[in-house]
Amino acid sequence: MPGTLARPPLRLLVLGGTGFLGRHVVHAALARGWRVSLFNRGRSARGLFPGAEEIHGDRADPRALAGRSWDLAIDTSGIHPSQVRASAGLLAPSVGHYTYLSSVSVYAGLAEPGVDEDSPVAPAPAYVPDVITEESYGALKAMAEEEARRAMPGRVLVVRPGLIVGPWDPSDRFGYWVRRVAAGGRVLAPGSPDRPVQFIDARDLAEWMLRMAEARSTGTFNAVGPQRRLSLEWLLETVRVEADSGAELVWASDEFLLENGVEPWKELPLWIPEILPQHRSFMEVSNARAVAAGLTFRRILETVADVRAWQEQHPVPPFALPTLTASREQQLLRMLTRPASARPTAR
């Protein structure tokens, strides 16, 4: 209408912003025309986004943010509860809405499928360690969620993803399978072909988080995908088709892999043995609440193609997990072709 004043662009503060998911959040926010500020230590990727303001400082002492205000804040980098306490506490008077990126690892039990947002989370430890380990990660993330809620009651969105994938993934967990299947040959595939897998493209997650933040949505959501059940075999076959690879999947049982010292999730990413019950349903978490709130997923073929294109331009990420070497994989494949009685245990 003539005379109607244009709405000013939203002001967004991203805590992080140059790594993996944060990079996609910033890119999507700038594409919306928002005014974006990044707060991080400035140790890498300086100047990555010329259209964004960079504020350098430490999570433990975020005084560089004092005296400023933003409409929205998205925290992609807070792990330890002390970090979130410091940032959320300082920002409480000057930010309208706070999105905290948590994890499905917060749940106290993932032995059975269908864990949802009302399921119990890991209890806080009697002693809060300064150093985060695999064992303490989930409980500390659950504590960090509470710190955000305590600082900004009624203004916090907690997002709990599982495995986040896509270009710029530093862990290479999803990338391992894209690279390995695309290379062809006999591929060692872990466990049952029908085992479910869950993951979400970082770009889908970033877009949804921005929509939720813009709407000032609050509450807790498991942001996992895809929308329908997906098996590991279906995923690996999708990679094979997209890459036009002649790969042959050779399936090895949980028992065989464990007996021969293969480390779940690390050496063979996405593999969580059914016979190790504590985390066997890590990739069978309910996403019904997030889907009802508008979470959508691009075609898996598109994610695979984009990861493969990114890999062609980038070496293995520096924080990639120590996955199976080619020689170790071939050793295991040879053992699978021998009679069981003739198989030595690999060391």
Model pTM? 0.93
The answer to whether residue 74 is domain-embedded is yes
Domain that holds residue 62: 8-161
Rounded to whole angstroms, how far apart are CA atoms 125 and 281? 23
What CATH number should be reported for the domain holding residue 21? 3.40.50.720
Domain count, the chain: 1
The reported pLDDT for the residue numbered 318 is: 64
Rounded to whole angstroms, how far apart are CA atoms 14 and 77? 9
The answer to whether residue 15 is domain-embedded is yes
The reported pLDDT for the residue numbered 342 is: 47
How far is residue 30 CA from its own chain's centroid?
A: 22
The answer to whether residue 223 is domain-embedded is no
The reported pLDDT for the residue numbered 258 is: 96
As given in the structure block, the two tokens for residue 296 are 């959508």
The answer to whether residue 185 is domain-embedded is no
The answer to whether residue 122 is domain-embedded is yes
The answer to whether residue 308 is domain-embedded is no
pLDDT one digit per residue (tens) for the chain, 347 residues: 555 566 789 999 999 998 899 999 999 999 999 999 999 988 778 888 999 999 999 888 888 999 999 999 999 999 999 999 999 999 999 999 999 999 999 999 888 899 999 999 999 888 888 888 888 899 999 999 999 999 999 999 999 999 999 999 988 899 999 999 999 999 999 999 999 999 999 999 999 999 999 999 999 999 999 988 999 999 999 999 999 999 999 999 999 999 999 999 999 999 999 887 777 889 999 999 999 999 999 999 999 999 999 999 987 676 677 899 999 999 999 999 765 544 444 43
The reported pLDDT for the residue numbered 319 is: 66
The answer to whether residue 207 is domain-embedded is no
Helical spans, DSSP H, in 246-286: 254-259
The secondary element (H helix, E strand) that includes residue 190 is strand 186-190
The answer to whether residue 249 is domain-embedded is no
Is residue 32 exposed (0-12), middle (13-18) or buried (19+ Cβ within 10 Å)?
middle
Q: What angle do helix axes 173-183 and 232-242 make, rounded to 10 degrees?
A: 50
